[in-house]
Copies of this chain bind each other. A is one copy, B any other.
Amino acid sequence: MRPNRVKELWRAGKPVLNGWCALPCSLSAEMVARQGWDTVLVDLQHGGIDEATALHMLQAISTTDAVPFVRPPWLEPGVIMRLLDAGAYGVVCPMVNTRADAELLVSACRYPPQGMRSNGAFRGVMYGGADYVQKANDEIVVLAMIETKEALANVAEIVATPGLDGVYVGPTDLAISLGHGPRIDVADGPIGEAIAHIRKTAHAAGKVSGAHGTQTGYAVQMLTEGFNFITPTADFRALQMGMAATLSGIRDKIPGARR
């Protein structure tokens, strides 16, 4: 089976830089993957990507050496298994709030006896190789999103789940759940402390930690503090900011172009 380069990077003590795709478009996914990200994640929760489009995006990402990741829409075993069958090498699952949630997630991602994943990885075998079924339990990365007050309270139990590789912070949902509204790129105060607590708890259990932000400086800080996996922006954000900046840049200079 094609080794999961993410695991190699982590074994070497290196961080993983993740490109985030929420636009339902295989061309933009291929373009993101061509920029050199270690992983490229296809987000099926927020962004309009359905499973059929996700398949095309995973194919597009697989034309590069970026490792294909997915965020399933919800903790639904059937959907998670299909995304793995489609060739995803990593799963970042939203709203894992309890130990039971984490165990269900792991079970959906692992073949027996570790889990209940069903055999039939049509594209997994094409992408991974003929020994995919034998080795997938060791190569596929499974991360649980910690993004509620409840999950925060249960994080030690969650990270102790056998077969779970680590956790991934969902910052805006966590902030909302903690009563602070949809804040992002926060490194201090109660939210910052919660995020640091998640990281430390994961590392104490020998698991990895992932962070999510929208500013390069924040991403650098999170990596410096020890996070192993970072999403510093997203396709739609780059698109929106680039288009808006160009437009206002012109309107600033050309008085007649002001609306």
Contacts and interface: CB of A to CB of B under 8 A. Distances in A.
A19 B112 CA distance: 28
Contacts of A53: 52
A92 interface: no
Contacts of A235: 239, 243
Contact of A23 (B23, B120, B176, B250): B23
Contacts of A37: 243, 247
Contacts of A182: 119, 133
A233 B216 contact: no
B119 A239 contact: no
A15 interface: yes
A50 B172 CA distance: 28
B62 A73 contact: no
A256 B230 CA distance: 13
30 contacts: A17-B247, A19-B243, A23-B25, A25-B28, A27-B236, A30-B123, A31-B236, A34-B126, A35-B244, A46-B118, A46-B119, A46-B121, A48-B52, A48-B123, A50-B52, A52-B52, A63-B63, A73-B78, A73-B79, A74-B76, A74-B78, A75-B78, A118-B147, A216-B250, A216-B253, A219-B246, A224-B254, A232-B246, A232-B249, A238-B239
Given A35-B240, A45-B78, A119-B173, 12 more contacts: A17-B250, A23-B28, A25-B25, A27-B48, A27-B55, A31-B240, A37-B243, A74-B81, A112-B176, A216-B249, A238-B241, A238-B246
Interface of A: 13-15, 17, 19, 22-28, 30-32, 34-38, 45-48, 50-53, 55-56, 59-60, 62-63, 73-79, 81-82, 85-86, 94-95, 111-113, 116, 118-123, 126-127, 133-134, 147-149, 170, 172-173, 176-177, 179, 181-182, 216, 219-220, 223-224, 230, 232-233, 235-244, 246-247, 249-251, 253-254, 256-257, 259
